Structure 1
Amino acid sequence: MNHFTIEGPLNEWIVLFHGTGGNEYSLLQIAGDIEPNAHVLSFLGDVDEGANRRFFAPLKAGTLDRADFDARIDAFLKDWPQLRPEQATRITFMGFSNGANFVLGLLEKEPAIADRVVLLHPSNLAYTFTEGSNAQIIVTSGAMDTLALPGDTMKLTKQLEAVFPNTTLKLLDGAHGMTEQEITYLQDTLR
């Protein structure tokens, strides 16, 4: 999976996973708004869906292709030890939509992969969390989101809370996209 790094003066790292149709630059502004001095490691999904990039195969009839999903999660986790910044004082994983769903797959298999996890507009795709961690998990959803339904996101949050006790859901105005209100919430919560 292609990625790039932006160096920062802090030993804090923000690891980014874009949404469908995005790219490795899509979340840079948000990361900079949250902590402009952090190192950034940003990934580009390697699944093509027309002109769109994704981290795993598209859903079929609303269902996750579990074999493809697990294979891509396993491939990332195999490479992560070489990419993981050993000197980091704090690692934050942030994903939007497809990227957030990918991060949820990482949490299924490696619940302590990050100190903080920001899931922006994730979908509830029948994840199974058998273990958790003390990682801070922040979930956001738009009240009028028709792609990642807020009711499903609330159910997902309850599932996460069962094993990740530091989980918070923020329901915001808006649809399936980032708003200024959401960015301000993340700044206030993560700083």
Structure 2
Amino acid sequence: MTGGTVGLPEGGLAAWPHVFTPGEAGAPVLLTLHGTGGTETEIAALATAIDPRASVLSPLGRVREGGASRWFRRMGEGVFDVDDVIERAGELAAFIGAAREQYGLVDAPLTALGFSNGANIALATALLHPGALDRVVAFSGMYPFGDRDPIGDLAGVEVLLLNGTGDPMAPAGSVDVLERTATEHGAVVTRIGRPGGHGIDGGELQAAKEWVAR
């Protein structure tokens, strides 16, 4: 892309809306990824609930749907444009690499915290680009590749799946596929279900806090 870095918009990292808040020395980096209609500033508060010492890196999804920010295109509710998912996962991997360089985070451990659409792009990025992202906490996420499996070796990747068992937006069947496929490719997957639907509850926040702190 003329004037930009591969995977980034023209103008590079500066042209991608995001916030970065440095944390305490030695603390991890939490990459927060919003759901449909969310913002990079709102979702950043999730990191504080998980680890208030952490540095927080929070970008804005670059796809627009009906005026709402998203991470990739979809054909309908729960029906993703898989080609766009794959492309946007590459973009997010490039963003992570550029942000690590820009903010002096090259050697810092990084974990993504994603909700809904943000969970799905976090999962897609980790499954396709584990060198850029190898730890994901996915709140109300699902398998992002439809009936396809473009995944390679996931040795070293760790994923925490937190889902409502009655969630119509992230159906249990899709989460089953996600858990099975990621495990078959070598990822370590922890899955915790709760009664209810789409969202994040206090028990999930506590589970995420303990998992991230490991």
- TM-score for the superposition, normalised by structure 2: 0.80
* 2:182 counterpart letter in structure 1: L
Q: Which residue number in structure 2 is paired with residue 76 of structure 1?
A: 92
Q: Which residue number in structure 2 is paired with residue 170 of structure 1?
A: 192
4+ runs of 1 displaced by more than 6 Å?
none
* 1:2 counterpart letter in structure 2: P
Give the CA deviation at 1:99: 1.0
Aligned counterpart in structure 1 of residue 34 of structure 2, from 18, 42, 52: 18
Is this contact kept in 1: 2:93–2:132, CA < 8 A?
Answer: no
Is this contact kept in 2: 1:121–1:176, CA < 8 A?
Answer: yes
User: Per-residue displacement from partner, 1:109-136 (whole Å, max 9, x unpaired)?
Assistant: 2123234211111122335322102132
1:110-125 to 2 correspondence within 5 Å? Answer: 110-125=129-144
Q: Secondary structure at the match of 2:175?
A: helix
Aligned counterpart in structure 2 of residue 129 of structure 1, from 151, 159, 162: 151
Q: Provide structure 2 residue ranges, at least 5 long, that are not aligned to the other structure.
A: 1-15
Distance 1:10 1:174 in 2: 38
* 2:94 counterpart letter in structure 1: K
Say whether residues 1:102 and 2:121 are aligned partners.
yes
Change (3 A) 1:10 1:172: farther
Distance 1:44 1:61 in 2: 21
Distance 1:35 1:164 in 2: 27
What's the % identity of the aligned pairs? 27
- TM-score for the superposition, normalised by structure 1: 0.89
Is this contact kept in 1: 2:93–2:133, CA < 8 A?
Answer: no
User: Per-residue displacement from partner, 1:63-114 (whole Å, max 9, x unpaired)?
Assistant: 32233223322333334322122141x1101211111111122123212323
Q: Provide structure 1 residue ranges, at least 5 long, that are not aligned to the other structure.
A: none
Say whether residues 1:152 and 2:160 are aligned partners.
no
* 1:86 counterpart letter in structure 2: V
Is this contact kept in 2: 1:17–1:43, CA < 8 A?
Answer: yes
- Count residues with an aligned counterpart: 190
